[in-house]
Chain A
Amino acid sequence: MNFVLIFLIVIFSSSLFFYGKSKTKSISIERNIKLNALPKFYGYYLVLWSSIPALVFLLVWSLFEPIIIKSIIIETAANQGAIFNDKNEANLIYEKIKAIHLGTYFGDIDTILKESAISYSKFLNIFTNSKIVLIFVTIIASVIFSLKKIKNNNKAREDVEKILKGLLFVSSLIAILTTLGIIFSLLFESIKFFSVINIFDYLFGTNWSPQRAFVSDASAITTAEYEELKDAFGFVPLIAGTSFIAFIAMFVAVPIGLFSGIYMAEYASFKIRRISKPIIEILAGIPTVVYGFFAALTVGPFFRQIGESIGLTVSSESALAAGLIMGIMIIPYISSLSDDVINSVPQSLRDGSYAVGATKSETIKQVVIPAALPGIIGSVLLAVSRAIGETMIVVMAAGLAANLTINPLESTTTITTQIVMILVGDQEFDSPKTQSAFALGLTLFVATLILNYIAQRAVKKYREKYD
């Protein structure tokens, strides 16, 4: 339905282009006046005016129509005597009514449902009809308005450019809308979660096992129930596991990445650089699910075998395997950023060091690296934020059970793994378990935001120093 409407609007308004063009031409001949813009701009003017208001109207309408119809239907069903205790049951009844309307419902249909289904199709009809009428009115109104402007020989090019500039501005606002969307969707559920679980119990609890968290009635939780719930949502093991795996990853990635960056920037000939740089960057382009597969099916079992042969018990989902592979994934982020940073250290610093007789490596260690340090720290922080936000490697290769440990051979879990585990499959709405995933997401979002902010500040300050 909507697609047909969009199609018709687009066809109609693009045909107005030719009308506008020829109309203004004839106006200029008739009245013997000089037009204020090329005829095609009058065409564009008509196209924009006839399509944008209608399309915006259609978009807004389609966003709100289902919500409004739903609330009306649920209310009428309640008035007719349908009984539902909470939002879930209301949703269920609404879905049933919709299915009856579509003819895909095969369960028992009582009179209330039947009546509601009839009123549902009635409302749907009313809404669709009024939508079409209102769109028609919008188009007519905007076309009349723009035709009047054209007949008065407006400065069409400037007007068209104003409208387009508005369009450009709106496009750039989508980034802000996305951020707002992220913040609201995370906060919305997190606030619900923290209204059940005290935020301090969440932040400092040492036990994470959301599977155990069953609540019969979320609005009235007894003290005994709360004690148990509190025990299911303790954040400490997750942050410990996440930082532990990120630490192992950094332990691998920082030396390898930094040394390759130094070698690329200071030693490598043009030829070696041209070949090896893209190959290392392949590592950044490989989807993380591929690393996860490799870690889970090859590296994990391999470590386990080695462990067995020297008499160690290694979990096949060890933190070591996940961290190692994550570290390899991160190498290119560190190497290319530190390569850039080292390259932008002024040559005069190096020349000064050579002049007093230092070897190349001494120059690098004592002059170049200290000069580039803020930038390097920035790139490492960016890599850390990537490591804690990385999902697929840990979902596939790290463990699922929260486990406070510092033994890299044991399995441990991370924030992202738990988000995936909680939200995969069927979710119960409005249960603290589902909401806890959003609380974890919020924590993750805030943590990466802070890391990125510091890192970007560090890199920027460093750049300014030598520019």
Chain B
Amino acid sequence: MTKEQRLKKRHAAEKRFRLYGLTSILVALVFVLILVNNIFSKGSSAFMKTVINVEVFFDSELIDIENGAPEENIREADFYDITIETLLKAYPAKNLDEENELIDLFTTDAEIEIKKAFLENNNLIGKKINLEITASDDIDQLHKGNYPRNLPEDRRRISNFQLKIYDNLLQNNKINKNFNNYFFNNGDSRDPELAGIGGALVGSFYSIIICLLLAFPVAVLASIYLEEFAPKNKITDFIEININNLAAVPSIVYGLLALQILLATIQLPRSTPLVAGITLALMTLPRIIIPCRASLKAVPPSIREGALAVGASKFQSVFHHVVPLSLPGTLSGTIIGLAQALGETAPLILIGMVAFVVDIPSTPIDPSSSLPVQVYLWSESAERGFVEKTSATIMMLLSFLIFMNFIAVYLRQKFEKRWN
């Protein structure tokens, strides 16, 4: 091999090596794209729901209420008959089977929707109005194009007759898409068209607030102690080693801790944001202490010495000068820690947040779910409608995380002082 050939070979190796590096970065970037694209393409349709336009005739015989009846009476009134009557008018059905199939096109909450429309308007008795009733999950998925209609009938959840009705309604412009208010307002449900993240949102909110209230003060105080006051001795070393180790303990172990101490020993209520918040706080604490200490360390000693020189006590130099200067770093570290806590699932599953909760929690000691747990729960469901719901929940979760991280970066860039 001549000198030139060898040099060429070495340069080729150089190029190859560089290419490997670039390729691995690209692989990682491409994966981010695939993941985000996959979630968004599946999830964005969940923000809309399919509605079927029907004509409701409020026959006084069917609901047995006079115009101007007091509201309690209306609330107690039975709207079942009028609902069936209304839904059956959507398409001529010949026998009982066909009637049932027709009713199955609509959500199980059709009665509630009709009642709600009646309560919102005055004096509807004897009048006809057009109402948009939420379609059932199967029709919803069919209308959004997520459901293959060319399968043989026995492998479809939608019968041929239902398909015929759907096509007929579509031709008469009776099927529309509306903003899906249920997705944001409702709690969990077995019916995908009614299921929402309202409960999970509130549950996550309470958990994160409790986590913040517990973890932030303790983390700040602990890091001030360790960075500014702690004498160099065995106890301090031990605390430091402990904090570093705790930051690396798998999150599921915190779930076991909560199960044994918070639920079994102290007997706090299961499945509640209170327990979730405490568990997340214990888990987040070391993860906040580490950046807090780093930002305290970044404040140069001259600040402390300057304060001490004009007669401030050690405490005054720390609390009046060092802590305010470290605040941007402290806050952004806290927000990033909270963002991690918001996405944490495993410990919450262990403390029972996987319970099926329909009601939206009103206090932190009501049973509740949380956003990531809702993702886990729905992803285990078989119904097709839950796939888009899960993806949409992930979209919400990711946008919260992006927002929090954005604030953290902003705080740091805007307010943090550079010392050199």
Residues of A within 8 A of B (CB): 63, 66, 157-158, 161, 164-165, 167-169, 171-176, 178-179, 181-182, 185-186, 188-189, 255-260, 262-264, 266-268, 276, 279-280, 282-283, 285-290, 292-294, 296-298, 328, 331-332, 335, 359-362, 364-365, 382, 385-386, 388-392, 395-396, 416, 419-420, 423-425, 429, 437-438, 441, 444-445, 448-449, 452-453, 456
Contact = CB atoms under 8 A, between A and B. Distances in A.
A362 B289 CA distance: 41
A172 B225 contact: yes
A268 B26 CA distance: 13
Contacts of A256: 24, 27-28
Nearest to B348: A289
Interface in B325-362: 339-340, 342-346, 349-350, 354
A260 B229 contact: no
Contacts of B24: 255-260, 263
Contacts of A66: 266-267
B20 interface: yes
Contact of B17 (A172, A182, A331, A364): A364
A168 B398 contact: no
A448 B250 contact: yes
A258 B20 CA distance: 10
Contact of B376 (A158, A298, A396): A396
B260 A165 contact: no
B29 A280 contact: yes
Given A331-B28, A385-B248, A419-B350, 4 more contacts: A179-B246, A280-B29, A296-B379, A416-B252
A293 B345 contact: no
A290 B23 contact: no
A181 B257 contact: yes
A448 to B, nearest CB: 6
23 contacts: A157-B313, A158-B313, A173-B239, A175-B246, A178-B257, A178-B282, A185-B256, A263-B22, A280-B25, A280-B28, A288-B346, A290-B394, A365-B17, A391-B250, A395-B376, A396-B376, A396-B379, A396-B380, A420-B346, A425-B354, A448-B248, A452-B244, A456-B244
B17 A389 contact: no
Contacts of B14: 359-362
Contacts of A285: 339-340, 343, 401, 405
Given A285-B339, A420-B350, A391 B251 contact: yes
Contacts of A268: 25
A287 B345 contact: yes
Interface stretch (B32-40, B79-87, B152-160, B165-173): B32-40
Contacts of A296: 379
A361 B242 CA distance: 40
B218 interface: yes
B253 to A, nearest CB: 5
The 10 A-B residue pairs whose C-beta atoms are closest, nearest first, are: A389-B250, A287-B343, A263-B21, A185-B260, A168-B225, A361-B17, A171-B221, A391-B346, A259-B24, A172-B222
Contacts of B31: 283, 328
B163 interface: no
A396 B254 CA distance: 20
Given A175-B289, A423-B350, A279 B32 contact: yes
B345 to A, nearest CB: 4
B245 A449 contact: yes
B192 interface: no
B221 A392 contact: no
B239 A172 contact: yes
A166 to B, nearest CB: 10
Given A293-B394, A389-B250, A445-B253, A259 B350 contact: no
B390 interface: yes
A255 B17 CA distance: 12
A257 B28 CA distance: 9
Nearest to A416: B252
B387 interface: yes
Nearest to A169: B225
Given A161-B315, A172-B239, A361-B18, A438 B256 contact: yes
A262 to B, nearest CB: 6
Main SS of chain A's interface residues? helix
Nearest to B319: A164
Contacts of A259: 20-21, 23-25
Contacts of A389: 249-253
Nearest to A360: B14
Interface string B221-250: 110111001100000001100111110111
B252 A420 contact: yes
Given A259-B24, A276-B25, A294-B39, A176 B266 contact: no
Contact of A293 (B238, B255, B267, B375): B375
A171 B286 CA distance: 12
Given A287-B345, A392-B376, A361 B13 contact: yes
A392 B348 CA distance: 11
Nearest to A298: B38
A178 to B, nearest CB: 5
A290 B391 CA distance: 9
A267 B253 contact: no
Contacts of B29: 276, 279-280
Given A178-B285, A360-B14, A416-B346, A267 B21 contact: yes
Given A168-B224, A175-B243, A175-B285, A294 B38 contact: yes
Contacts of A186: 253, 256-257, 260
B125 to A, nearest CB: 40
Contacts of A294: 35, 38-39
A259 B255 CA distance: 35
Given A176-B239, A297-B379, A391-B346, A286 B398 contact: yes
Interface in B371-417: 372-373, 375-376, 379-380, 387, 390-391, 394, 397-398, 401, 405
B144 interface: no
A462 B34 CA distance: 37
A445 B343 CA distance: 21
Interface in B261-310: 261, 264, 266-267, 282, 285-286, 289
Interface string B121-148: 0000000000000000000000000000
B21 A171 contact: no
A206 B127 CA distance: 73
Contacts of A420: 252, 346, 349-350
A395 B387 CA distance: 18
B172 to A, nearest CB: 36
A449 B23 CA distance: 34
Contacts of A385: 248
B10 interface: yes
A423 B252 CA distance: 11
Contacts of B221: 167-168, 171-172
Nearest to A445: B253
B260 A445 contact: no
Contacts of A453: 245
B248 A164 contact: no
A416 B250 contact: yes
B89 interface: no
Contact of B249 (A173, A359, A362, A448): A448
B44 to A, nearest CB: 16
A279 B28 CA distance: 9
Name which of A287, A296, A382, A453 has the most chain B CB atoms within 10 A of its CB. Answer: A287
B102 interface: no
Contact of A424 (B21, B230, B254, B354): B354
B39 A175 contact: no
B149 interface: no
